Structure formats: C-alpha cells, structure tokens
Structure 1
Amino acid sequence: MYSRPSQNSAQDKAKVDELLTQLTADLQDEKLTAAQRKNLLEQLKVLGRNPANSDSIFAKKGIETLCEYGFDVAELDVSQEALRCLANAMLLQEAPRQHLLDLGYRDKAAQRLRNNDRDDEFLVSRIIFLLTYKTTVDLEDLVEKNELASSISRNIAGHADRLSDSAGQPAHPMDDMALVESLKLLFNVTAKKPELIARFASCVPDLFSILSHQKLPVPSLQVPVNSIISALMNMHITKETCPTETLTKQLINILDLSIEAYPETQLELAATPLLTLLRKIQAVASQDGRKHIQSLLLPNEQDRAKPLGQGDSLSSRLLRLSISPSLNEVRESISALFFELSDSDPTTFIHNIGYGYAAGFLSTHQIEVPETMMRTDAQGAAVNPVTGQRLAAESENPEPEMTDEEKECEAERLFVLFERLKATGVVNVENPVHQAMREGRFDN
C-alpha cells in the first residue's frame, strides 16, 4: 500500500532546520543563555534520531555547527549536548564522520578525551570510534600527536580502580557505558593499526583486573565481558602480564557457559575472540599455569572410557565443535588450541585428542604424521590412537549399534574431513560420501 509522507514528518524536518538556524546564528550573536542553547540542542537531539528529519544535520554546515558547540563552547552541559547530537549523526550516516575530519576537529576530539569526565569519555570515545569506519582518518598520526593512547589507558585504569574499590556496589550507569565505549575504541585502534599495540601495554593488567571484578551476564559473552575479551585479544600478553590461574579458570568457565548458551550459528562470532585469547595465554603461561590449562581443556582419563568426543565434558563438546561443518573460525581455533596445548607436537596431539579429530588439522597445515603413530600409541599408553579411547574400555564396553542420528553426524564429520584433506592437495581421493550418494548407498 502506498503511503504519503506524514505531515508530522515534514513539520519535524522544518523544525530541525529552524533549530539549526537558531543555533548557527547564536554562534555569532551570542544572545541566547546557556540554558536556552542546551534546550535547543536537546530538541535537535530528539528530532535527529530519525534520519528522515536530519538532512540538514548530516550536511557539512550542520556538522560544523555541532562541532563548534561540542568542542569550542565553554559551558560543559551545552558542549556535551552538542556531542550527543554529533555522535547520533555519525552513527546514522557516514558523511558526518568525514565532515568532522574535513573541518579539522579530529585533534580537538582526541584532546577532549584527556578530561577526567565519564560523560566526555563516553561521547568522545564513541565519536573517535566512529571515525575509524569509512573515513580518511590517520590513526597513527592521531595517536602520536594527541596522546590518544595515554588517554585511553588512563580511562581504562580508572575503571579498574573503580571496580576494585567498589566492594560489589552497583556502578553508575554512565560508568559502565563509558567503559564499553573505551573498550570498543581500544579494540578498533589496535585491530586497524597493530603497530600501535605496544602503546597500550599498560592496559593489559587493568583489563584482566576489570574482567576479574565483572559479574557475568547471562549468556556470558555480552557487554562488557565480550568487549574486554575482544580488547585483550589484540594485546601482547607476556609472562609478566599473564593472568592468574583463577582468572584463567574464569575465562575457561566463560567458554564452557557460552558453548551451552549459544547455538552454533552465534558461536562463530561470540567465541572466536575468547579462544584466541586462551591461545595467547597458554603460550606465555608458566609450566604450572600450562598444566592447569591442559587439565581443564584436554580430555582426561574419565573421557577415555568412551571414544573421545562422546561425553558431556567441556573437552568433549570442544572436540565436537572442532569438526562442525557449520563453523570455520571456531573449528580452526579449537584445533589450534589443542595442538598448542600438545606442545605443537603431532604425536602428542594425536595422543591427546585421537587421530580422528587431529587428522583434518594436521593435513590442512601440512604437518607430517609419524609413521608409527597409527600402529601403536607413541606415548606408551594403552589407548586407541584413532578414537582416543582406552583399549581396556573398548573390550569391556563394546560399541552399541549407532542410531540414525549418530550415523548422520558421523557421515557429516567424514564429509568435512575428506573435503579438508582434498583442499590441501596432499591427497587426491574421492569423498566417500559423494561416492555413496552416486552409487545409491546413501539415504538422503
């Protein structure tokens, strides 16, 4: 059904034009009081949330007016109200972001972030964050000239101090909102300019401290937890800044809860940063710290009562995800994490998770499998090298007939494994699932 533009929409657009005209004129006349200026900007903010009303805001002249009020006007309330209008405009359209750069307000924005004010931190961090998308901003120059790394690090440290001193008291909503904007800005700067990561080294212990004081949301990988993990994912973690075993266990618990809470379609985006962070931690952890991570993630003796991956433990669920055809990043990250926890040794890797789970990763990365591995477990334990199950458990508990669902899952797993093998070019074999379908032996 055709609908004509509403009269209210036309009136709102005219009102936006009128408000901007008044505000622009007062930059020269200075006849309005601070309260009147703030009131006009508040009206503009509300109307500007609808892009249909906001053409004059998005225009370069409109952005110039908002920048002058936001960065050049002395009254803090007026300035912050203008920054809210500016942040909304930059969120709704790309053009205002480049307008701000072209008007020369990049440096003033970065300098404003030095203020010890949570509203400023929230607003200016968001504005600079938006400048990192589809603009000509030079992030390296921005950081070098305006102490941006110091400002972000100082704000992160302030949140760490606040949380450690809060004794469980609820935070002001703006505190948490400002933290999330700082984390998003930190992530984008370090993701887009990895050469600047070293400038933010002091953030690492503060980020781990903030994470240790966070009450986990449900599901767990939501703000601010996912924002903290994403920021840490880009950081250089050293032996000195490696988290405690208690915090590492908390991260693994978050992974466990996330696998339970999120469907596979969401895990790809939600869990990959956490898996990347765990890989970084295990790489620099002490010997005792690595053993602790291995004990929490790798299959244990109880898991080996069945073929690996068939139980309900975290390691079993991770193994099943490591061969899921619907996952790419998570599948690779889990296999890489298990390989690194196996000292990057293929023999140890196969012993730890079984050849059935290890084969795809080893072949994709062209890692040679020891010839003796498939004849006997090279670690000297009585373990089936393919399934990872104890040989004694195999004789005591013969495998029951597979259900139709289990057969379908196994066929899907084999399909993915053979496709990964073929992609490497190491072997040239026909996928048995394709062959079975062609010969009519596969019921679809």
Structure 2
Amino acid sequence: MFSGAMQASGRGKAQVDELLSQLTADLQNERLSAAQRKKLLENLKVLGRDPANSDSIFARQGIETLCEYGFEVAELDVSQEALRCLANAMLLQEKSRQYLLDLGYGDKAAERLRNDDRDDEFLVSRIIFLLTYKTTVNLQELVEKHELASSICRNLAGHADRLADSSSQPAHPMSDMAMIESLKLLFNVTARKPELSARFTGCVPDLFSILSRQKLPVPPLQVPVNSIINALMNMHITEETCPTETQTQQLVDILDRSMKAYPEAELDQAATPLLTLLRKIQESASPDVRKHMGGLLLPDEEARAKPLGQGESLPARLLRLSISPSLMNLRESISALLYELSDSNPTTFIHNVGYGYAAGFLSTHKIEVPESMMRADAQGADINPVTGQRLAAESGDSEPEMTDEEKEREAERLFVLFERLKATGVVDVENPVHQAMREGRFDN
C-alpha cells in the first residue's frame, strides 16, 4: 500500500513537471492555442493542490512561468487560470511569495487590481493578501505608486452599490467571495501599516453601508460580518464618515445577537473587535448618534426597579459580562465603552451603572471618585449608588424566591462587586458573602 502511494506521488510529480515544461516552452515558441494553454493550466491547478506533487511549481522557475501567464498573457481566461495556480502555490508554500516579489510581479499585481472584474478582484486580492505574510513586500509603495488603496476602495464602493440596488441584475457568482478577499486585504494592509489607514478613509461609508445590508449569519460574527468589522476597526472614523443611527442600531443588534449566540468562553475573542469599533464610533459620532447608542447600551430608568445587571436586556447582560473574571479583554472593552458613553465622567458613570460595576474599572485606571458619590442622594435622586436600584424599589421588592442556582450566581456576583469596592479604598465595607459564611448563614 505504501509502495502504491509512492508510485502515485511519483506520477503526480512527473505530470506536474511535464505540464510546466510544456507551458514554459510555449512562452517562447507560442505554438499552443489559448484553449490548450488554459487546459494545461487547469490540469496543473488540480495537481498542484497536493504539495507532494508541487516542488517544481514552488521553485523559482515554476513561479516565474505562472507569473508570465498570469500577468503578461493577453487572454483573460488563460491569465486567470494561471493566477489560480499562483494563489494556490503561495498559500501552500511561503517561499513562493517571495519569489513573486523578487521577480518584480508585486507591482504588476497591484496594477492588475485596477481591472473592474470580480474574478480579478478575488484572485489578485488574495495574492497580495498572501504577500503581506513573511515577505519583503513594500506596502507603502504599492499604495502610493501603484494605486492599491484606490483599487480596493473602488471595488468596495462597487459592492456597496450592488447591495444597495435591489433591482439590479443577478450578481456575478464571485461577487461575495471577491468582496471578502478585498476586506481581508484591507485589514492586513492597515494592520501592518497603520500610517496608510488615511488612504482608505474614503471607503468607510461604503463599509458601513455594506454591513447594514448584510443578512446576518448565525452566529453573527463570521464572514462577511467579522471581515467588515475587522476592516473598520483599523479605519480613521470622523463625524463625516460615522454610521447613521440606523447603521449604529445594526451594530448594536449584532452585539446583542452575539451575546446570546456565543458561549462566554468564546466571547472574549469573538466580540472584542465589535466593542472596539463601537468605541471608535462613539468617539466621533454626532450628539444624536451618540445619544442613540447610549440609549441602547446603558440601563434605562425602568431597569432601576431591580439592582442593575439583573434581567436579560442587553445593558444588563453587558454589565454582568463587565465583571466576568474569565473575559479579560471583553470586560475592559465593555466598561470602557460604557464609561465613554457616560461622557468619561466618573460621577455620571457611577450613576449610570452603579458603583458596584464601576469600581473595578475606575480603580484599575486610577480615576478618582468623589466620596460624596457614595451617598444615596449623590445624584439628587433616590438611587442606591452601589446597585443602581431605586431606593423605593428596594423596600417594595416583591420578587419571587430565587432558585438555588440563582442564589449561587447572585452570591458570586456580590462577592466580585464587594471585593472591588474594598480594593478601591474609597469605602470600608465587609463582603456580605464573607459575613454570611462567618455567621453560618451561607451553605457551601
């Protein structure tokens, strides 16, 4: 059986060598028709998916042959078939990427992206995307001399127009895949060269437009939604390029669905980019958009019938996650967003979320809190400053008896809140869980 596998691999290598030999020779003598060239490249693409067959493709000469077909040959279908072979080779073998650059085809790839063609967009965006990993690619030169930013922005504007026009003809079969490759390339370029982000500012409104018209997948933070969010996360957002209230509502809806769809263990990685984007938006948003966002994410007056953080509303779930010990990145992002939506004012922040939820963030960031905030009348209202609940609701609370599981969760929550309070040194309080255990009122 092992011998048979070796023989099959040997045949595959020999076939690849023969195909490349014919293609290389035809670059000189031009005896093959366009259809014959395409057929040879199709066969090479299939065989080249197996790395065991592909040593000659990965070699400098093999990459050079594919580059000449991909970027120099006039027949579009032949050229695109060669680009498919190149993209596969560059994915499978890192050294292939540097060979393409050494042969001078990085610049030609960027120039090829100017074509208004979805197959070209998909293939060339992927090739340049792969060049951003472990090569000497000069992204600044591709942007400044070869219009890479203009090409990406133009392609994304086309996708925004396509999605906005519901009466348009059926989309090109590659449209969605090409858009995703453009988004991935945009993210990598701006992540590796943040100083180039300003060159892509023009596509920010198109990115928000594309996102607002996407049918959300389940769970929501997967392609293309996460690709759009990741791309926007690196962008410079101004008041002129900020999303509308409707588009902001869509982002909050994605956050709401994500909190329900993903287990807590996955949220730290999956949802943090979205929180980062919402923070960027609120920083530059108009007063109306900012107020709208605060209304969606901060507890409202109705929530004060109970201690804040109880219930299944989005603000309540965010508050609970903001003190989760397992979500190091997400809890910081949530608290920072709610603090910023509170005008970055500690007094307003405590009023909005309760001192119990605010204490850890304020202490970590060494933000001083007026001692007067710990009085019940600190805001001129009948609100418990620690829990955020209305004092009148505390005395008239007629909630049904909690189950043992609910009591355990509440005890854990109170433990974390009061430990944060003690750590700040602002008030001298004893953790009620410790007190209950000492007095024999807590069953472990």
Same fold, TM exceeding 0.5? yes
- Quickly say closer, same or farther: Cα 1:137–1:420, change in 2 above 3 A: farther
- Is residue 299–residue 315 contact of structure 1 (8 Å, CA) maintained in 2? yes
Residues 31-40 or 12-21, more deviating: 12-21
Shift of 1:88: 1.0
Distance 2:173 2:249 in 1: 28
- Is residue 351–residue 377 contact of structure 1 (8 Å, CA) maintained in 2? no
- Quickly say closer, same or farther: Cα 1:229–1:3, change in 2 above 3 A: farther
- Quickly say closer, same or farther: Cα 1:365–1:68, change in 2 above 3 A: same
Is 2:292 aligned against 1:292?
Answer: yes
Q: Give the corresponding residue for 1:97.
A: 97
Spell out the pairing of 1:8-27 with structure 2 (5 A cutoff): 8-27=8-27
Q: Give the corresponding residue for 2:250.
A: 250
Distance 1:425 1:40 in 2: 75
| 3-state SS, counterpart of residue 383 of structure 1 | coil
Q: Give the corresponding residue for 2:124.
A: 124
Distance 2:259 2:79 in 1: 44
Shift of 1:311: 0.5
Distance 1:192 1:85 in 2: 26
Spell out the pairing of 1:342-361 with structure 2 (5 A cutoff): 342-361=342-361
Distance 1:56 1:354 in 2: 66
Q: Give the corresponding residue for 1:183.
A: 183
Residues 135-144 or 339-348, more deviating: 135-144
Residues 249-258 or 220-229, more deviating: 220-229
> In the alignment, residue 15 of structure 1 is paired with which amino acid?
Q
- Quickly say closer, same or farther: Cα 1:413–1:138, change in 2 above 3 A: farther
CA deviation vs aligned residue, 1:90-119 (integer Å, no higher than 9, x gap) = 112221111111221110110100111111
Q: Give the corresponding residue for 1:334.
A: 334
TM-score, length-normalised on structure 2? 0.90
- Is residue 339–residue 346 contact of structure 2 (8 Å, CA) maintained in 1? yes
- Is residue 265–residue 326 contact of structure 2 (8 Å, CA) maintained in 1? yes
Q: Give the corresponding residue for 1:277.
A: 277
Q: Give the corresponding residue for 2:46.
A: 46
- Quickly say closer, same or farther: Cα 1:4–1:308, change in 2 above 3 A: farther
Distance 1:79 1:368 in 2: 64
CA deviation vs aligned residue, 1:302-361 (integer Å, no higher than 9, x gap) = 221211111010101111111222222211111111000000011111111111111111
Distance 1:271 1:125 in 2: 26
Distance 1:403 1:3 in 2: 65
Shift of 1:382: 1.1
Which consecutive residues of structure 2, in runs of 5 or more, have no partner in the other structure? none
Shift of 1:212: 2.3
Shift of 1:425: 12
> In the alignment, residue 220 of structure 1 is paired with which amino acid?
P
> In the alignment, residue 279 of structure 2 is paired with which amino acid?
R
Shift of 1:403: 4.9
Q: Give the corresponding residue for 1:233.
A: 233
- Is residue 160–residue 206 contact of structure 1 (8 Å, CA) maintained in 2? yes
Number of residues of Structure 1 aligned to a counterpart in Structure 2:
441
Q: Give the corresponding residue for 1:32.
A: 32
- Is residue 364–residue 421 contact of structure 1 (8 Å, CA) maintained in 2? no
- Is residue 356–residue 421 contact of structure 2 (8 Å, CA) maintained in 1? no
> In the alignment, residue 85 of structure 2 is paired with which amino acid?
C
- Is residue 363–residue 421 contact of structure 1 (8 Å, CA) maintained in 2? no
CA deviation vs aligned residue, 1:211-245 (integer Å, no higher than 9, x gap) = 22222222222222221122111111111122111
Shift of 1:133: 1.1
Q: Give the corresponding residue for 2:79.
A: 79
> In the alignment, residue 331 of structure 1 is paired with which amino acid?
R
Q: Give the corresponding residue for 1:213.
A: 213
- Is residue 363–residue 426 contact of structure 1 (8 Å, CA) maintained in 2? no
Residues 134-143 or 176-185, more deviating: 134-143
Distance 2:90 2:426 in 1: 50
CA deviation vs aligned residue, 1:181-234 (integer Å, no higher than 9, x gap) = 111111111111111111111101111222222222222222222211221111
Shift of 1:377: 4.6
Is 2:164 aligned against 1:158?
Answer: no
- Is residue 38–residue 77 contact of structure 1 (8 Å, CA) maintained in 2? yes
Q: Give the corresponding residue for 2:145.
A: 145
Distance 1:90 1:353 in 2: 51
- Quickly say closer, same or farther: Cα 1:377–1:98, change in 2 above 3 A: farther
| 3-state SS, counterpart of residue 302 of structure 1 | helix
TM-score, length-normalised on structure 1? 0.90
| 3-state SS, counterpart of residue 301 of structure 2 | coil
Shift of 1:74: 1.3
Shift of 1:421: 9.1
Residues 194-203 or 171-180, more deviating: 171-180
| 3-state SS, counterpart of residue 174 of structure 2 | helix
Residues 124-133 or 17-26, more deviating: 17-26
Distance 2:144 2:423 in 1: 44
Shift of 1:151: 0.9
> In the alignment, residue 34 of structure 2 is paired with which amino acid?
A
| 3-state SS, counterpart of residue 173 of structure 1 | coil
Distance 1:3 1:401 in 2: 72
Distance 2:114 2:35 in 1: 26
Kindly, what percent of the aligned residue pairs are identical?
A: 81
- Quickly say closer, same or farther: Cα 1:129–1:380, change in 2 above 3 A: same
Distance 1:2 1:401 in 2: 68
Q: Give the corresponding residue for 1:321.
A: 321
CA deviation vs aligned residue, 1:252-280 (integer Å, no higher than 9, x gap) = 11111111111223322322222112112
Spell out the pairing of 1:389-428 with structure 2 (5 A cutoff): 389-397=389-397, 403-406=403-406, 408-409=408-409, 413=413
CA deviation vs aligned residue, 1:6-61 (integer Å, no higher than 9, x gap) = 53233222212221222122222222111111111111111111222222222222
